[in-house]
Amino acid sequence: MELMEAIRSRRSIRKYLPDSVPEEALATVLEAARLAPTACNNQAFRIVVVKDAALREQLVEACKGQKFVGQAPVVLVGCALEAESYPKQAGWLNTFAIDTAIVFDHLTLAAAALGLGTCWIGAFEEAAVQRVLGIPANWRVVCLTPLGAPAERPDPRPRKALEALISCDGW
């Protein structure tokens, strides 16, 4: 699938088929994540790949009861080492969450190009995810996504016109 087609077709998928994700497809998705740019090329991220059904069920509770998290055959958990991320973007912002978001954008688009579904999960209890997966306290959990074959194809959601979002040569 061509890049713009993947961007246009990507949807937040909340229903998954029970089929496993082929290892080659998972490797492609993870390679796309690995190639994502990070501030100063620090690469201070790690992705935890969760295939174990019991762990996925525990993540449902850590994700505030979102059952579809446990129904997908794989859950990817994006973590960042805040201490090793660029500390002062624009003079005030540590980039750990931005870097991890770029990494996850790469992997969600790669998944879409392969016909796989994902859904950004931001509603979760960080300490609970850390506890379930044994993530060290100095690593921040930034986001999660289920990964699997979609059991639904949601319609596109409305988007603002480009003119409403873009300025040229000033505000």
Q: Where are the domains of the chain?
A: 3-164
What is the rounded distance in angstroms from the CA atom of residue 138 to the CA atom of residue 115? 35
pLDDT tens sequence across 10-25: 999 999 999 999 999 9
What tokens were used for 140? 């921040």
Q: For residue 47, report the phi and psi dihedrals to the nearest 5 degrees.
A: -115, 125
Residue 111 near residue 147 (C-beta atoms within 8 A):
yes
Classify domain 3-164 at the CATH topology level.
NADH Oxidase (3.40.109)
Dihedral in degrees, nearest 10, Cα atoms 53, 55, 56, 62 = 160
Q: What is the pLDDT of residue 164?
A: 96
Read out DSSP for 65-110? T-THHHHSSEEEEEEEEGGGS-S-BTTTB--HHHHHHHHHHHHHHH
pLDDT tens sequence across 99-113: 999 999 999 999 999
Q: What is the pLDDT of residue 72?
A: 98
Which amino acid appears at position 14 of this protein? R
Q: What is the pLDDT of residue 20?
A: 93
DSSP 114: T
What is the rounded distance in angstroms from the CA atom of residue 94 to the CA atom of residue 87? 4
* Percent of the chain scoring above 70 in pLDDT: 100
